[in-house]
Amino acid sequence: MYEAYFTKRLLEALNRAEQAADCDERSVHLQISRHYRDLLEAPDKRDSLRHTTRIAATLRYGTSLRRVTVSDLSTGGFRITLDDPLEPETPVALQMDGFAPTDGLVVWRAGDQLGCKFVRPLHPALVDAAIALGTEP
């Protein structure tokens, strides 16, 4: 169903990696390309159990910082509500209150809902701790 979209995003990420100005930028685009490659191989596969949450956090993207609430958390990613128009493949960093920032990438956007994938999956114990300590903003 989403094969054309995932293929387009994969090719865009590979193209951006080739045109990257430095190693860090190239690495981000290659990670994005691997994500879309994985989605093409198994589009309906969920990598991890999702938890409905209300965790206060700060989202950093570019030079912007926004307070958000994490409404869905797993070892692989998270969902938030954000009015700012971030597009798929935008690098972000999520800092849940009481935890160190974790790098991620925007995967999808639907209205004001934003789904992101962590660059490196969280340890399950960290997810459990974030849920246990989670508070509303």
62 and 103: one domain?
yes
Question: Is the CB of residue 89 less than 8 Å from the CB of residue 13?
Answer: yes
Residues with pLDDT less than 70, the chain: 1-2, 39-48, 135-137
Q: How many Cα atoms sit within 13 Å of 109 on the Cβ side?
A: 13
| Helix, strand, coil percentages, rounded to 5, for the chain | 35, 35, 35
- Per-residue confidence (pLDDT) for residue 1, from 0 to 100: 45
**Domain count of the chain?**
2
Which pTM was predicted?
Answer: 0.65
For residue range 33-50, what is the model confidence (pLDDT) as tens digits? 877 777 666 544 555 677
- Per-residue confidence (pLDDT) for residue 33, from 0 to 100: 81
**Does any domain span residue 46?**
no
Give the CATH number for residue 97.
2.40.10.220
**Does any domain span residue 56?**
yes
67 and 121: one domain?
yes
Q: Structural domain of residue 15, as residue ranges?
A: 3-41
